[in-house]
Structure 1
């Protein structure tokens, strides 16, 4: 399963301990990006609650994940020789 690491992150002012097998640099990059995106959402919609911003951020992340999976699938299909 790989080496599990504990990573302490502060996301939108809240402290979290995240356990995973990603590098510290990866976890820091994710934390920074989350904080940037949450700040941008709060700037664009100041009346949005923290819960609403977190939900929208999660929705956007899953949407991006689906887009990337579809693109990867498309690329794999174009590189796979067809049986004729």
Structure 2
């Protein structure tokens, strides 16, 4: 295992997973709890779908959120840079 990597065991959707990462245990716990909660919500909303399809939907939602946040961050950076330029002038 690489230096700085930690192992964390989490139960997600009734299965035990070992998560390996450099983030603190608290962060990994919150991530695992969030995934478990979102999978439970999807299970209620999509009773006909199997675990794999629910996991794919969760991944699609996560990537969509990530792209939205990335776009918002880029817009904020542009506004910040514009404000800095305005202050210099």
Q: Could you say which residue in structure 2 is the equivalent of 1:29?
A: 30
Q: Does residue 64 of the first structure (1) align with residue 49 of the second (2)?
A: no
- Residues in 2 aligned to 1:58 and 1:80: alpha-carbon distance in whole angstroms: 33
TM-score, with normalisation over the residues of structure 1? 0.91
Give 1:4's aligned residue.
5
Runs of 4+ deviating beyond 4 Å: none
* Deviation of the 1:2 alpha carbon: 6.1
Unaligned runs of 5+ in 1: none
Distance 1:35 1:18 in 2: 14
Bigger fraction of residues in helix: 2
Larger Rg: 2
Q: How far does residue 33 in structure 1 lie from its aligned partner after superposition?
A: 0.7
Q: Is it true that 1:15 corresponds to 2:16 in the alignment?
A: yes
